[in-house]
Amino acid sequence: MPSSKWHRAPAILVLTVLALITVGGFAHSWFSRQPGDPAATLWLAAGGVAATIIALSHAIHIARASEKARTEMERRALANNATLVQLKAFWETAPLSIMLLEPYDPEVPVKIIDCNPMCCEIHGYSREELIGQSVDLIEAQPWTGEHAGRWIRELHEHSRLEGESKHRRKDGTVFDIDYFTNLLVVDGHELVLGMDHVATARKQAELARDQMHQQLRDASRQAGMAEVATDVLHNVGNVLNSVNVSATLVTDQLRHSKAANLTKICELLDQHREDLAGFLTNDPKGAMIPLYLGTLAENLAGEQKVMTAELERLRKNIEHIKDIVAMQQDHAKTAGVIETVSVPDLLEDAIRVNAGSLAQHNVDTAREYLARPVVTLDKYKVMQILINLIRNAKHACDESGRTDKRITARITADDQQVHIAIIDNGVGIPQENHTRIFNQGFTTRKHGHGSSLHSAALAAKELGGALNVQSDGPGYGATFILELPLKPETTIHEPPVL
């Protein structure tokens, strides 16, 4: 097809002629009043040439600008076509349930105009069964007119709404969803785009969290001490964060799985089922299928490996939550009771309580049990001190910014005392803070409360021992040493005032 600039050639020619006539006419009108003047003749000729040059220059500029505009329009059209192809692919393969809704239909309230395959799959309906129906068909609780009106008003106010709801499948089962709705304007008419995601993983995590919280409340009431619930909540919350991370990773892996490409391969093979052998051997696309299937198999195996690892991590985290709760309940039941216990066992319990948080923050732990003494004391109180010291060491490592974060638990003993040291390579402590650090309310952390080390020091004195700190200064880490008597004293220690 000839370039469009040649279609504009007549217009350019007319423009050129008009310019010549205009300039030439002006020159002739002015110079004709001076007959015989050579300068007049020269100016007349020059005027015509100048007009010709100006007109041709302008015509060329217009032609080039028009050609550039046409090229840009063609580029944009290609880009739009590519975008449409991408949007269609997303609509067909998205792991979200997507619906296009008509909110103003006079006969069908909030009518479903269209829906994608995932919407049909999770609700158990065919596309034909859903289109033209009210969204009430899949809502667990039917909408009233007031509900629909409020929904539209909120969409006008915010343009986008999100939250939680319940949907009903064709078989009557009800399930939880997270929904996202957006108000669209198409050719001056308002439509609503709704996207839903089945909230199974999130609900399971919330159910586990709720169950843990209930157990915590029971443990707190049995022990009669509020700090039990506080500590368990903190530790379980750390592990639940890991549970949520694993659930999210598995969900994302499934959402972006290469398994969907198998459908395309099947469709391609189905199109050539009459001569499948010829297609696989002679057709360029068909010849690539065996190699592609091998690559796809490797990708799927990799996905399976990743998801298996995450699910195993998820299982271990849930087991760890159960261990934390059971262990805390066991200690809470014996709060205030004097028992004979192994110091290494107590320290291992304290490390286990913090294990999820330590792993999440990439803090390594080491043991140096140079003695394995047995002591007779209130093991619940010792546990609270050790848990606080390990948690404090983890924060110090985090704030240091170093990659080789490490906490060492060391046990030594002499004839009179057992020494439990929690050593970190974190931010360190200035000399002037060595005594202040145990004061109520003193903290160097941005979101700290200054109570954990204070309460730990109080508890150590109540046990007939002491809590000390050593540090060579900022950047050199710190060592907290819990000293406990090997033999119980006959006198009862009143809570000291620090």
Q: How far apart (Å, rounded) are the C-alpha atoms in residues 8 and 6?
A: 5
Among 16-30, 78-92, 355-369, 464-478, the range with the most confident prediction by mean pLDDT is 464-478
Segment 248-262, tens digit of pLDDT = 888 887 887 877 778
pLDDT at residue 133, rounded to an integer: 93
- The residue ranges of DSSP E strands in 49-102, in sequence order, are 97-102
pLDDT at residue 414, rounded to an integer: 92
pLDDT at residue 112, rounded to an integer: 93
pLDDT at residue 4, rounded to an integer: 44
Q: How far apart (Å, rounded) are the C-alpha atoms in residues 74 and 235?
A: 60
pLDDT at residue 409, rounded to an integer: 96
Helix, strand, coil percentages (3-state) for the chain, rounded to 5, are 60, 20, 20
Among 217-221, 273-277, 428-432, the range with the most confident prediction by mean pLDDT is 428-432
pTM for the model stands at 0.39
Q: How confident is the model at residue 74 (pLDDT cuts 50, 70, 90)?
A: low
The residue whose two tokens read 């606080």 is 388
pLDDT at residue 327, rounded to an integer: 65
**Worst-scoring range by mean pLDDT, 220-234, 346-360, 399-413?**
220-234
CB atoms within 10 A of CB 328: 26
Name the residue with higher pLDDT: 453 or 443: 453
Q: How far apart (Å, rounded) are the C-alpha atoms in residues 132 and 102?
A: 9
User: What average pLDDT does the segment 416-426 reach?
Assistant: 94
Cα dist. 209→12, 240, 351 in Å? 78, 7, 22
Return the CATH number of 94-198, one of 3.30.450.20, 3.30.70.640, 3.80.10.10, 3.30.930.10.
3.30.450.20
pLDDT at residue 419, rounded to an integer: 96
Instruction: Indicate the DSSP class of residue 139.
Output: B
Q: How far apart (Å, rounded) are the C-alpha atoms in residues 153 and 183?
A: 11
Q: CB–CB of 317/209 below 8 Å? A: no
Q: What is the CA radius of gyration of the chain?
A: 39
Cα dist. 41→20, 33, 50, 139, 342 in Å? 16, 11, 14, 91, 122
**Worst-scoring range by mean pLDDT, 46-50, 79-83, 173-177?**
46-50
Among 54-63, 71-80, 274-283, the range with the most confident prediction by mean pLDDT is 274-283
Q: How far apart (Å, rounded) are the C-alpha atoms in residues 41 and 243?
A: 96
pLDDT at residue 446, rounded to an integer: 57
Give the residue from 396, 473, 393, 480 showing the smallest Cα distance to 431.
473
Q: How far apart (Å, rounded) are the C-alpha atoms in residues 479 and 428?
A: 9
User: What average pLDDT does the segment 19-36 reach?
Assistant: 47
For helices 38-93 and 9-31, the axis angle rounded to 10 degrees is: 160
Segment 306-336, tens digit of pLDDT = 888 888 878 877 877 776 677 666 655 555 6
Topology classification of domain 336-485: Heat Shock Protein 90 (3.30.565)
pLDDT at residue 493, rounded to an integer: 39
For helices 343-360 and 226-255, the axis angle rounded to 10 degrees is: 40
Segment 95-134, tens digit of pLDDT = 889 999 998 888 888 899 999 999 999 999 999 999 999 9
Q: How far apart (Å, rounded) are the C-alpha atoms in residues 146 and 76?
A: 44
Question: How would DSSP label each residue in 300-342?
Answer: HHHHHHHHHHHHHHHHHHHHHHHHHHHHHHHHHHTTT-EEEEE
pLDDT at residue 484, rounded to an integer: 95
Question: How would DSSP label each residue in 392-426?
Answer: HHHHHHHHH--SS-EEEEEEEE-SSEEEEEEEE-S
Averaged pLDDT of the chain: 76
**Worst-scoring range by mean pLDDT, 19-28, 297-306, 398-407?**
19-28
Q: How far apart (Å, rounded) are the C-alpha atoms in residues 462 and 439?
A: 16
Half-sphere exposure of 70 (CA within 13 A, CB side): 10
Question: How would DSSP label each residue in 220-287?
Answer: HHHHT-HHHHHHHHHHHHHHHHHHHHHHHHHHHHHHT-GGGHHHHHHHHHHHTGGGHHHHHHHSHHHH
pLDDT at residue 21, rounded to an integer: 45
Q: How confident is the model at residue 367 (pLDDT cuts 50, 70, 90)?
A: very high
* 87 pLDDT more than 80: no
* 231 pLDDT more than 70: no
Q: How far apart (Å, rounded) are the C-alpha atoms in residues 149 and 483?
A: 68
pLDDT at residue 78, rounded to an integer: 56
Beta bridge partners of 342: 374
Among 25-34, 218-227, 459-468, 487-496, the range with the most confident prediction by mean pLDDT is 459-468
The residue whose two tokens read 């205030």 is 336
Segment 126-183, tens digit of pLDDT = 999 999 999 989 998 877 667 778 888 888 888 889 888 899 999 999 998 889 899 8
Q: Please state the φ and ψ torsions of residue 284, each to the nearest 5 degrees.
A: -55, -40
* 23 pLDDT more than 50: no
C-alpha triplet 235, 239, 244: angle, nearest 5°: 140
Q: CB–CB of 218/336 below 8 Å? A: no
Q: How confident is the model at residue 40 (pLDDT cuts 50, 70, 90)?
A: very low
pLDDT at residue 15, rounded to an integer: 46
* 445 pLDDT more than 70: no
The residue whose two tokens read 């919350």 is 237
Q: How far apart (Å, rounded) are the C-alpha atoms in residues 319 and 313?
A: 10
CB atoms within 10 A of CB 235: 25
Q: How confident is the model at residue 51 (pLDDT cuts 50, 70, 90)?
A: low
